[in-house]
Every structure is written in C-alpha cells, then in structure tokens.
Amino acid sequence: MTPRIALIGLGTMGSGMAGRLLQAGYPLSVYNPHTERAAALVDRGAILASSPRGAAGNADVIIAMVPDDVASRDVWLGPNGALHGAKAGAVAIDCSTLTPAWVRELAAAAKQRGCEFLDAPVTGSRPQAASGELLFLVGGDAATLEKVRPVLQHMSRDMVHLGPAGSGALMKLINNFVCGVQAAALGEAMATIEKSGLDRDKAVSILANGAPGSPLVKGVSARMMERTYEVFFKLRLMRKDLTYASEEAAAHGVELRTVAAALGLFSQACELGWGDRDMSAVVEALRGGRP
C-alpha cells in the first residue's frame, strides 16, 4: 500500500517538500499554524489538519520541518502534538535543524509511544526543496531509514546515514556553522570592497571564481550586490543555528571562535530588522542599512 504521509511545517523548506510528495502521488495531510500557506497544497490534493495531532492520526510517516527546538517540542509533544495522535509503528522524522540533546529526547519519546524515529535535517535551500534535490543527514536506526527511503527519495538527491539519533542534527550544525562563517566573512569582504573604492564587479568575480568561490559564495555574493533578499535561508535562523553549534561544540570542549565573530554580525543584522530576510542580508550590518 502507498504510505500515508503527514508533513508539519510549511515554511521555506516544508512547502517545497510537501509539493514533491504530492507530485509523487502520496496521500498527504499537512499542518501549519498559518493556514494560508497550505492553500496551494490543498488545491493540489493535500488535506489540511487543524493540529499536528490531527495531521498525524492516520499517517504511516510523519515529517516535521520547523524552526527550532521550541517549535519541534510543541509540534511533537505539545497538547496537540503529533506523537499524541501517532499510531504504533509509524515512523516519525524531524527534518528541522535542532540540538542533538533535544533530538535524543524526542527519539526516546517516540519509542515510548511505539514509533520509530529518525532525525534527518537537510542541506539545500528553497530551490532544492522544490526540485527534490535535498541531501538528508540521517541519525537513527539504519533499518528505519531503509523503510522510508522510497518516501525520502522523492525529496532528495541522496541520504547519508551518520549514526544513532542525534548524529544528523550534529552534522547539520557543523554544516551550517561553516556556511554562516563563510557568509559573515563574505559580508566583511563586500563592505571592504565597497568602502575602499575597488571595482566591485571585478573584485567579486575574482572571489567567486577563485579559491574562495564555493557555491555559497557565488550565490550569496550576487544577492549582496543586488540587495535582493528574497528568502532562501532566513537570517534569524542562521543566527539560531550558530548559537546551537557554539553550544554543542562547547559541550565537547571546543570553542568556535569564528562562530562567535559571525554570530555578532548576524545578531547586529537582526537588530537592524533583517532577521526575516535572506541570510545574505548579513552584509547590511556593515552597510548600516535597514529594510
């Protein structure tokens, strides 16, 4: 039988993921606190639930994609949380960027309720979610991953099993702190280029096509130059991820000094009002601009 899917959280990433599942023909129930975000999916056949518990009720696979630990705890274990409605044997998957400690707690709660659990955060942003080219970083039982692989493959280019519950979350924080530090360094480079009088187009081309020219540098530098901050990854969420990463590294005896510097820049950009725009707006902390 075709498994029934519930997807909780229809933000930048969740909406694209839900679209891929509908395109693949899965029966899909969705939940989002702002119901207007579900309208296009409902038009395509999704069922809109009034709570995470309602979305999860008949689902074989329950997927959450929410902003942080607080939201994840609420949608899984809150008064109307998904695990209160999940049937025994369902697979619960959290694709959010979370702390490993919370993920391990959530895995234990799912097991107590007779569910299997994976933490499966993703790399990629809005275009990859919409096109089914995400990379899932998976923690949990390898046999559970194999059980849901046919579902995840419609949203991904690959899945990497990294170890027990919490392993995916840890790898995602490491991935994102490297991205955040790159973006902050690029913002400082951009500000220096602009204020020094160098030809900006030539200077950025040298960075983008030389040794520093990662895919992130190429994409983010273009948005910084154009000052177009349509969301691929929200700036305030990067600030959250840098905070989580710093705390997690400290628990292992590592001080992320480059993260501390980047976090200061992202925090300043949030204070200027850029928190809900794309993370490339971190450069505005140095330009002094406001939305």
pLDDT at 287: 96
Q: Are 155 and 121 in contact (CB under 8 A)?
A: no
Q: Any catalytic annotation for residue 202?
A: no
In terms of pTM, does the model score above 0.85? yes
φ, ψ dihedrals at 183, nearest 5°: -65, -40
Q: Which one of 111, 172, 234, 240 is the catalytic residue? A: 172
| 5-164 shares its CATH topology with 170-287 | no
Please state, in angstroms and rounded to a whole number, the distance separating the CA atoms of residues 206 and 265: 24
- Residues of the chain scoring pLDDT < 70: none
pLDDT at 29: 98
Superfamily (CATH H level) for 5-164? NAD(P)-binding Rossmann-like Domain (3.40.50.720)
pLDDT at 113: 97
pLDDT at 289: 87
Q: What is the pLDDT of residues 250-289, one digit of tens each?
A: 999 999 999 999 999 999 999 999 999 999 999 999 999 8
Q: Are 222 and 205 in contact (CB under 8 A)?
A: no
Q: Are 235 and 277 in contact (CB under 8 A)?
A: yes
pLDDT at 1: 83
pLDDT at 4: 98
What are the residue ranges spanned by the domains of the chain? 5-164, 170-287
Say which CATH architecture domain 170-287 belongs to.
Orthogonal Bundle (1.10)
Please state, in angstroms and rounded to a whole number, the distance separating the CA atoms of residues 207 and 2: 48
pLDDT at 118: 98
